[in-house]
Amino acid sequence: MFWRFSQIQRRATEKESLDPSQNGVVHPIKLRSFVALAMDIASASPRRYFFEVMSFYATAEHEKEKLQHFASPEGRDDLYQYNQKERRTVLEVLEDFPSVQMPFEWLVQLVPPLKKRAFSISSSPLAHPNQVHLTVNIVSWTTPFKRKRHGLCSTWLVALDPQESRGVVIPSWIHRGCLPPPPPSLPLILIGPGTGCAPFRAFIEQRAVQNTKGPTSPVLFFFGCRSQESDFLYEHFWLSHSQNHGVLSKEKGGGFFVAFSRDQPKKIYVQHKIREESARIWRLLNAGAAIYIAGSSTKMPTDVTSAVEDVIVKESGMSKESASRWLRALEKAGRFNTEAWS
């Protein structure tokens, strides 16, 4: 399925356009291309109403009965177990009920549109003019029924062969994110575990170029990953900027701190490193530093914010409530920025 998707994408983007007004000319699009490019048949789970409509078009009696059950209030729990919990896709559901001959007009209305995926730009425009680097985690997980699932976009991207895929056009847009680009004079405290390091690779590259042209302010970067062996992303990059007067070097007032969560029996996270470096963090905050947090939106941003509050409490003697207010004021002043995703 994913291979076909990429093939369709390639043909479609070369010859056709989904934007009917492009250059004022209406471009026809093949039905296959429309399904592949505009309809989310391979990642979103269908809603209850989809099952109701399917039941009308099922010709096999046992399928019709099952679909009617799923669409009924009594079948709500069974539908949850079969559909949402397993994150079954439209395509999989249609394959499970082969007697259903749903007219395309219905499919177009019921299938959600394919949604865009956002990726933080992880390269600096000064270091790599005319290029955009991304740091993409290949999403995969196992469902409660032990079915292996793969993220649609990340799996498609990783399947592109740089040689073989030469000329493939990836439809993309650039949006302003939640992390304002910092001027070279702004001291920085960056916290980006996992793929959260993506925007900070760009910040550090940018500052390294700025550093060759004039003075720049210090940068502390806190990175976290599972183990030094398996997922220490851009290891050489961080370490080289931590040496020889690089932007993360001690000589420059900077620092690079890494937490390997699974290299020992007890988890170590970026928060532990933040608390260990409380004096340096507080000094830099008093010198006008901005805090940037990026990465997983589950618990990480809250836990990291709490660790920063602990630093303020320890170093300033404020209460936790005052520290929290202090951080909110920092946020209002544009000096506490978070970009998180799940």
Ligand X SMILES: NC(=O)c1ccc[n+]([C@@H]2O[C@H](COP(=O)([O-])OP(=O)(O)OC[C@H]3O[C@@H](n4cnc5c(N)ncnc54)[C@H](OP(=O)(O)O)[C@@H]3O)[C@@H](O)[C@H]2O)c1
Ligand Y SMILES: Cc1cc2nc3c(=O)[nH]c(=O)nc-3n(C[C@H](O)[C@H](O)[C@H](O)COP(=O)(O)OP(=O)(O)OC[C@H]3O[C@@H](n4cnc5c(N)ncnc54)[C@H](O)[C@@H]3O)c2cc1C
Q: What residues make contact with ligand Y under the rule CB under 6 A? A: 43, 117-120, 135-137, 139, 141, 151-155, 177, 195, 198, 339, 341-342
- Could you tell me which of 292, 205, 285 has the C-alpha nearest to residue 246? 205
Rounded CA-CA distance 252/262 in Å is: 31
Q: Which of 9, 43, 55, 195 binds ligand X (CB under 6 A)?
A: 195
Distances in Å between the alpha carbon of 119 and those of 97, 174, 195, 286, 338?
Answer: 36, 10, 10, 32, 15
* Residue with Cβ nearer ligand X (121 or 270): 270
Nearer of residues 63 and 277 to ligand X, judged by Cβ: 277
The interface region with ligand X, picked from 81-89, 96-104, 155-163, 192-200 by CB under 6 A, is 192-200
Q: Locate 255 and state its tokens.
A: 């620092």
C-alpha distance from residue 270 to each of 38, 137, 223 (Å):
39, 19, 6
**C-beta nearest to ligand Y: residue:** 151
Distance CA 91, CA 105 (A): 16
Among ligand Y, ligand X, none, the one that 153 touches (CB under a kind-dependent 5 to 8 A) is ligand Y
**Sole binder of ligand X in the list 261, 305, 337, 338 (CB under 6 A):** 261
Told to check if 143 binds ligand X by CB under 6 A, we report: no
Residue whose tokens read 């895929």: 165
Helix (H) or strand (E) holding 13: helix 2-15
Rounded Cα distance between 299 and 289, Å, is 24
Q: Which two tokens stand for residue 256?
A: 């690079």
Q: Under the criterion CB under 6 A, does residue 231 sit at the interface with ligand X?
A: yes
Identify the residue among 15, 27, 299, 325 touching ligand X (CB under 6 A): 299
The three-point CA angle 84-36-56 to 5° equals: 55
Helix-then-strand count for the chain, H and E: 14, 7
Q: Which residue has the tokens 């290891």?
A: 235
Nearer to ligand X, 210 or 271 (CB): 271
C-beta of 29 vs 153, nearer to ligand Y: 153
* Cα 302 to the center of its chain, rounded Å: 17
Exactly one of 187, 218, 224, 255 binds ligand X (CB under 6 A); which one? 224
Task: Decide whether 139 or 168 has the Cβ nearer to ligand Y.
Answer: 139
Ranked by CB distance to ligand X, the top (closest) residue is 194
Quick count: other Cβ atoms within 10 Å of Cβ 319? Answer: 12
Amino acid at 331: E
Interface with ligand X (CB under 6 A), residue from 53, 220, 225, 258:
225
Position 300 contacts ligand X (CB under 6 A): yes
Q: Which does 75 bind (CB under 5 to 8 A by kind): ligand X, ligand Y, none?
A: none
Give yes or no for residue 295 binding ligand X (CB under 6 A).
yes
Least distance to ligand X from the beta carbon of 44, Å?
19
The site for ligand X (CB under 6 A) is made up of 137, 193-195, 224-226, 230-231, 261-262, 267, 269-271, 295-296, 299-300, 303
